[in-house]
Amino acid sequence: MDPIWGLLLLLVLFLSGLPVTYALGFSALFIMRFSTGMKWITIGQQMMAGLNSFTILAVPLFLLAGKLMNKCGVTDRLFKFARAIVGWLPGGLG
């Protein structure tokens, strides 16, 4: 598949009103399918193998930690502390 077809597909999906994440995902899937000749099942297996990583586990745990800190009021105290330290600087939190 010529790269111009992938860009054209992406442009058509953008103009059709599809959200950007879906447009990028669908165009990437079709480019992988038709440029490499991989079967759909192989593409799915490769995607899941990429997500099956211990490092990727950190993302939802960081989100959970941020949510917990926000609920407990830790973030307000952190920002007050940071404002006291660097708030007077240009570009600080003040």
pLDDT digits (tens, 9 = 90+) for 9-55: 999 999 999 999 999 999 988 888 888 888 988 888 888 887 778 88
Confidence band, pLDDT 50/70/90 cuts, at residue 68:
very high
Query: Residue 52 corresponds to which amino acid?
Result: N
Q: What is the C-alpha to C-alpha distance for residues 35 and 80, in angstroms, rounded to an integer? A: 53
Interior angle at CA 73, CA 72 and CA 76, nearest 5: 160
Q: What is the pTM of this model?
A: 0.52
